[in-house]
Amino acid sequence: MVWTIAEHFDTELLKKQVEIFQRDFAQEVSAEYIRLALERINDNIAWMTRNFDDIRNWLKNNGYDKHGSIHEIETS
């Protein structure tokens, strides 16, 4: 379950929450699952660090504003 939940975590804040979860529930949750979850979170953070600006620029250049709405794109 921890692995599945953490699959989409990509911030230091979410990583910290998993670390707190690990501390608070160490007896109930396998250390290996937590280790794998933290490894995945670190990978996700690294991916976001590498790609965030490119994705943001692509969205901006293809009709999406900073709020996620779509600008009307001319088709002429």
Q: Residue 9: inside a domain, yes or no?
A: yes
CA distance 34 to 26: 9
Tokens of 46: 């690294």
Q: Is 37 left (phi over 0), alpha (psi -120 to 50) or beta?
A: alpha
Q: Residue 22: inside a domain, yes or no?
A: yes
CA distance 70 to 29: 43
CA distance 20 to 34: 11
Above 70 in pLDDT, residue 69? Answer: no
Domain that holds residue 11: 2-61
Q: Residue 52: inside a domain, yes or no?
A: yes
Whole-number percent of the chain with pLDDT over 90: 34
Looking at the 3D structure of the chain, how many domains does it have? 1
**Is the four-CA dihedral 52, 54, 57, 58 of positive or negative sign?**
negative
Encode pLDDT of 5-37 as tens digits: 778 889 999 999 988 988 888 777 788 888 889
